[in-house]
Every structure is written in C-alpha cells, then in structure tokens.
Amino acid sequence: FTGTDFAARYSALSQIDEILPAQPSADDQDLSVQRLICDGELPLLLSLVLSDLKGQNSRFKGAASVLREGLNAATDTDGMLHACLTSTADAWMAPLTRAAHWSAAFDHSWLHAKDTARLADTAYACISMLTQTGLVASPPDSLRDINTTPGDVFRHALRAVGVRESSPYTSLANTCSQRQRGKLKQSRRARALEPSNQSDWAESAILRSGLLVDSDLCLINWDKPQSEIHLAVLGMPLVSGRWDSQVTVNGSSVGPVEHWHCSCWFSDDEAAFIELEADPTESVHVVRHVMLSLQDHMAVICESVTTKDADAVVRLSSQLPLAAEPLAVTNSITREIVLHSDRISSRVIPAWLLDDRIQHTTGRCEKDDDHLLSEAEGVGGATVSLLLDWHPDRKAVDADWTPLTVTEARKVQTAQTAAGFRVRVGKRQTLIYRSLQPAEAPRAVMGLHTLNETVYGRVKKSGEVTPLVLVEGE
C-alpha cells in the first residue's frame, strides 16, 4: 500500500477512543486501546517496514514492550480479561492481533513464549463471551465496522498464536464471524467443554454452558460500585446492564447497595454458581446469587438482605436490566411472567411470592419499563428468588411453586435467618435454600437436613434432593 494510504488508515485508528465508550479505568493508561495502537502497534509496524533504517530495532523493542505491558495489565495469569474491558474486548484485542500478524509476516515476533500462551488464554476467555449478536456485554448496535464482528477479531487472534482450526474455540469464533454472512457451522463436541471461569483480580465471572453459538451464558462484573449482569439464553441476550438494588429498614433507605466482592465461586459439569456480597451499612448485609444450569436451560437469580435487628421491617427492591425490550405476558392464574423477545421466550417465576394470583402476598414481580422489578418485605430480612426457565420442551407445561418452612430444632426460622423455595416446571422440580444466619444445628427444609449455607438441588420423584450447588456454612 502507498504511504498516503498507510498514513490515512492509522490516523483514523489513532482516533479510536473518540468512537469507543470511555474506559472505566481511564487513569490506567496500560488498559487504553489508543495507547496500544499509537504507542504499540503503529511504532512496531513502522520499525518493521523501515527496518533498514538506523534506530528501528530500538523502536521495535519499545513498541513490543508497550504491547506486552498492555496484555499483562489487562489480564490475569489465566488470561481472564478485566471487567472494565469486557464490553470492548474486540477493540482491545484488535491491535494486539494485528501486531502479532505483522511481526510474523516479517519473521520478527514481539511475542515471547509466555506472552503467546497468555494471549491464547485471553482469546479463549473473550470467545467465551460471544453470543449470536456479538459480545454479551455490548449492545447489539455497538459494532464500529459492519463488515467486522468480534468473532473475526478473535479467530485471527487464535491464528496468530497457532491455535488449530479444529479447536472448539476457533469453531465458535468462526461461527460468530460467519453468522451475519448467512453461514452457520459448529462442532457439536464443543458441548463437552466447560468454558466457565472467574477471577477475583479481573472482578468478573463467566458462566457458560458450552462452546456452541446457542449456548447459555451469564457474565457478572463487579469492578464498578454497582455490579453488572449480562445473561444470554440460547445465544440471545435477555438481561444486560447494571443490577440495581434498594433496601429500606423501618421505612428509611440505607443508601446505595454497592462495592461488591465475590465470596464464592463454583463450576462443574452441571452448574456454574457465583455469590457476591456487599455491606451498605454496619448492620445490613446483602448477598446475591446466580446459578446457571449447564445442561437444562434454566437459572436462579437470588438476592437477600438481613439486618442485625430481628424486629426491623426490611424491604428489598431488586432491578434486573432487560435487553432487546422483550414483551412481558403475565399468566392469568399464577404470578408467572413470560418474556418474549427475538426468537426466544423465557419464563420468570417469582419463587418468594405465592403462585396463585387470588391469594394476597407481600411483594411483587413485574416488568417496569426496561427492567424486571422484584420486591419483597420481611421482618429482620427479605429474599427475592427468581427462577428463569427457557427450555424449549417446557414452554407449555404448567408451573407451580411455594415458599418453604425452614426449621431448626423444631423452631420455625424467620426471614432474618433462612429462606427456602420449591419450584416445579413440568416434571422438573427445584429446591432453593438459603441460610442467612449461621445455624447451631442442622436445619430442615422439605425433608432435607443440612448445615450448608446454600443448597440448590433437583428434587426427584421419590422426594430425594440431588444437589446442584452446595455451599458450606461458616
């Protein structure tokens, strides 16, 4: 290409921060896409093209150092990308990928062996955030170039580090990059992999059921004061944005619920689970749970608040941001809500409310503009527990549910100490149990005796509970 073309192209690239969202960590220059391009990719390319001129080796080393610093600053040792970059992961990955291909073409790579491995792990983590519409944390209209998708960027990144075309990660990236061109090819063996991951350093967790384009995916970020949740069901976005909560105690607001930290993480071949905690005041404690079934197309999103005052009236309002403006249809008999959006339908079951609409209950669950609003009230504490079900075979089956009585040494537990729920959708029955205060003896709920802090389980026909998630008590 000519020098004029070269200058014009990279002049445009250097202005990329003007069309990208502001980086949440703007004070950390090592995370800046603009720095990767202007101080890394562009000088490295110039040093390769002008390699016969004096001083280009020094320029190459300086540029390579910037690229390596950017890679290491934005990822943990397992390649997990920091939460503040998850919505623009393709823009961040692009200069690293282009630089890798340029240096390979000139047989003068800037990647050391450990950098190659880290870039590969980062590409895997980024691909795990792909859905049918792009990155799960990005709005559908966020693409800067309609001819380039995030899948394009990540598949070229895998090529740059030598990952084979037969890799399920490469297959998923290829599928996502080809989808807008009317092609859809994917390896069914990708279901066997477990791409879920979590990082305390990155302040992010990926819960994913497989490496197919229609896999279920939930991304949780807590790098900002208020955490974010992004949920895609069958590869299509359902929930995306900031997860807000308001807590009142005896009619007085306790202030914003923010500054979350991850206290528990779990993943196996059946379920992925994360727990976040926050303390808006010294006497108020808030816990959030997300459990994604990796085999059965359902999830549980639970939030609870407790106070030290056992007689305080506590009210919890939790708001989940809805993506793609789904149509909400309420059931005429139960309090179930069905969210209909592009090509998907998801049932929302408010397990803390009585299922029969005729019976009076405290609290509510409804679509409020672009949010799903859940409210509960209790003495000493309150819990809202949503079960979302989008299994195609369970669309038309009946559902029923009920809050459960929890006892300890024959004493019924209050909303301050424990909460339990049973939900049945067709033949699938789920137990949800939360211990909100430490137990001195095993607690009984629906025939289960346990000292565990959390139990999510599948209830068999015999009444036996098969655990999906068990969290031990303190």
Q: Are 438 and 419 in contact (CB under 8 A)?
A: no
Question: What does the pLDDT look like over 44-98, one tens digit per residue?
Answer: 999 999 988 888 999 999 999 999 999 999 999 999 999 999 999 999 999 999 9
| pLDDT grade for 106, boundaries at 50, 70 and 90 | very high
> Which amino acid is present at 337?
I
Q: What pLDDT, on a 0 to 100 scale, did the predictor assign at position 101?
A: 95
Question: What does the pLDDT look like over 387-430, one tens digit per residue?
Answer: 999 999 999 999 999 999 999 999 999 999 999 999 999 999 99
- Residue closest to 318 by CA, chosen among 368, 271, 282, 388: 368
**pLDDT for 466 beyond 70:** yes
> Which amino acid is present at 461?
K
- Residue closest to 128 by CA, chosen among 46, 63, 194: 194
Rounded Cα distance, 474 and 471, in Å: 9
Rounded Cα distance, 86 and 126, in Å: 8
Q: What pLDDT, on a 0 to 100 scale, did the predictor assign at position 346?
A: 96
**pLDDT for 7 beyond 60:** no
130-144, 171-185, 304-318: segment of lowest average pLDDT: 171-185
Give the number of other CB atoms < 10 A from CB of residue 447.
10
CA 289 vs CA 162, 214, 263, 413: distances in Å: 38, 23, 10, 21
Structure tokens belonging to residue 421: 């729920």
Structure tokens belonging to residue 446: 């629906």
Q: What pLDDT, on a 0 to 100 scale, did the predictor assign at position 342?
A: 79
Structure tokens belonging to residue 359: 């019976």
Q: What pLDDT, on a 0 to 100 scale, did the predictor assign at position 46?
A: 93
Percent of the chain with pLDDT over 70: 88
Return all residues near 154 (Cβ < 8 A) that are at least 6 apart. Answer: 90, 93, 123, 126, 127, 130, 173
- Residue closest to 91 by CA, chosen among 34, 136, 132: 34
Rounded Cα distance, 297 and 294, in Å: 7
Q: What pLDDT, on a 0 to 100 scale, did the predictor assign at position 23?
A: 41
**pLDDT for 21 beyond 70:** no
For residues 159-182, one letter each, b for 16 or more C-beta atoms within 10 angstroms of the residue's C-beta and e for the rest, the string is bbbebeeebbbbbbbbbbbbbbee
24-38, 163-177, 201-215, 457-471: segment of lowest average pLDDT: 24-38
**pLDDT for 135 beyond 50:** yes
Question: What does the pLDDT look like over 277-303, one tens digit per residue?
Answer: 999 999 999 999 999 999 999 999 999
Rounded Cα distance, 70 and 212, in Å: 30
DSSP state of 40: I
2-16, 76-90, 196-210, 430-444: segment of lowest average pLDDT: 2-16
> Which amino acid is present at 118?
R
Phi, psi of 402 (to 5 degrees): -160, 145
Q: What pLDDT, on a 0 to 100 scale, did the predictor assign at position 188?
A: 52
Rounded Cα distance, 123 and 157, in Å: 7
Q: Edge to edge, what strands does the sheet with 252-253 contain?
A: 252-253, 244-249, 313-321, 371-379, 364-368
**pLDDT for 4 beyond 60:** no
